[in-house]
Chains A and B, each alone.
Chain A
Amino acid sequence: MIGVIDYDAGNIRSVLNALEWVGASARLIGQTAEMDECRGLVLPGVGAFRSAMDELEATGLADGLREWASHRQRPLPGVCAGMQLLAARGEEGGACDGLGLANAEVIRITPVAPARVPHIGWNEVVRYRDAVLWGPRQQAFCYFAHSYAMTFGDPAERSRWVVGETDHGGAIVAMIEHGNVMGAQFHPEKSQKDGLAILRNFVEAAERW
């Protein structure tokens, strides 16, 4: 069973549909108590960083996720804004603490012409190093839709976490993975075969974790 964290906004159904398509049985998880039966948890991306964190903290899901990541040690991929929430801090909608699972910050992308912001569309993700999410795949074309991006102040932290990058007027962190905590800045559930392959890698890893 794969759980998809449900915090009441945005397109969570797409993630559920895609997980089922790659063979997982998946359900929405709205309370910490429901996490127990899951082999893996997906944190989808919805809305602005601050309002999403407010919602996760208010429902207790934030603490559940922290506990899951550190004690359960089962896979926790964040998708799009969900990946950003894994960071220590964000600035969208006002400065705010994130889940604090990755020593990173989420800041607005500065437009460098001819790149436009938001970064919307299909872009090439280049493999930085081996990762569960990559599997044997060497690169992928994936769909991005975001104005904010994850940055690592410390180069050592960056190389510990970043497994894939894309380019849009400068390098953008596209995929992270460190132990059981992972994430995709793009939407794997909306990236056709390349994205579905990445989700399948996660589902298979969760089953044998």
Chain B
Amino acid sequence: MVRKRLVVSLLWRNGVIVQSVGFRHTNVVGDPKVAIEFFNAWDADEIVLLDVTRDAGRPERFLAMLHHVSKHCFLPLTAGGWVADVARAQLLLENGADKVVVNTRGFDEPAFLGELADKFGAQCVVASIDVRGQDRETWQVAVDRGRRPTGVDPVSAARRAAEHGAGEILLTSIDQDGSLKGYDLDLVRTVADAVDIPVIAFGGVGDWRHLKDGIDAGADAVAAGNIFHFTEQSTRAAKTYLIDAGAPVRPR
């Protein structure tokens, strides 16, 4: 059986990697190339790079960065942010991405996910779903970098994305983001149970134990950002924790 993945999520804004709390960007962490070199060497299983620059992103600069960092990155690299047409997805792939993350346009027009899947295959299309709220009564998908609440519940959004051709769901709890309190486990469990495609949990990891909790809740991959920065060999320590805790991850 395929192993559970340890995913590093890097938020790129105007040329630097930043930390995020509740989708507000806080500290600048540093240079993307250095970050990727470290995580490539430290037993991470996948890297997600998102252009979170406000106001239309920095498409050319992001591409140049991707092209540069992917040269020596021999683990899967997933990229997104401001992907609103097939041409942009193709540019990301040509510049080193293995998979493309789609958020707002995939929600507003799910047929766009199908268009991407027809061209690149479903395994290449990651539907990103950002969720506001802390329990099933209040959960709702928010798009446009979390600023536009939609009133749609995450299960319907995930099912619809899968039906239209998404190959994976990147599920982020905005409320947990940066909280260090762990994933919204009920959200992870609910969405993972509702779809047949893999689900990546994201938002809130403050302790290695939270990664194990996400796996136990049914996530196929567990992502974190903030916690991996500023610590030597952070992903290696996380992987060691997961192995010792008996999680079915790729051995070191």
What residues make up the interface of A, taking CB atoms closer than 8 Å to B? 9-14, 17-18, 21, 46-48, 51, 81, 92-93, 111, 114-124, 141, 143-147, 167-169, 187, 189-192, 195-196
Contacts and interface: CB of A to CB of B under 8 A. Distances in A.
12 contacts: A18-B74, A93-B118, A115-B2, A116-B198, A118-B168, A120-B2, A120-B198, A122-B45, A141-B250, A146-B121, A190-B76, A191-B75
B167 A122 contact: no
A187 B76 contact: yes
A147 B70 contact: no
A116 B71 contact: no
A13 B70 contact: yes
Given A14-B96, A120-B2, A121-B2, A143 B75 contact: yes
A48 B5 CA distance: 25
A147 B74 contact: no
A167 B70 CA distance: 29
User: Which size class do B's interface residues fall under?
Assistant: 35 or more
Contacts of A120: 2, 123, 167-168, 198, 220
Contact of A118 (B5, B70, B167): B167
Contacts of B118: 48, 51, 93
A118 B197 contact: yes
B245 interface: no
B246 interface: no
B220 A145 contact: no
A123 B1 contact: yes
Given A147-B167, A195-B74, A116 B96 contact: no
Contacts of A115: 1-2
Nearest to B167: A118
B70 A14 contact: yes
A150 to B, nearest CB: 15
Contacts of B90: 9
A97 to B, nearest CB: 19
B70 A145 contact: no
Interface in B80-120: 90, 93-99, 118-120
B119 A51 contact: yes
A66 B150 CA distance: 52
Contacts of B70: 13-14, 17
Contacts of B1: 114-115, 123, 167-169
B221 interface: yes
Contacts of A189: 74
Given A51-B118, A191-B75, A192-B40, 9 more contacts: A9-B93, A10-B124, A47-B119, A47-B120, A111-B196, A117-B196, A123-B1, A145-B98, A145-B99
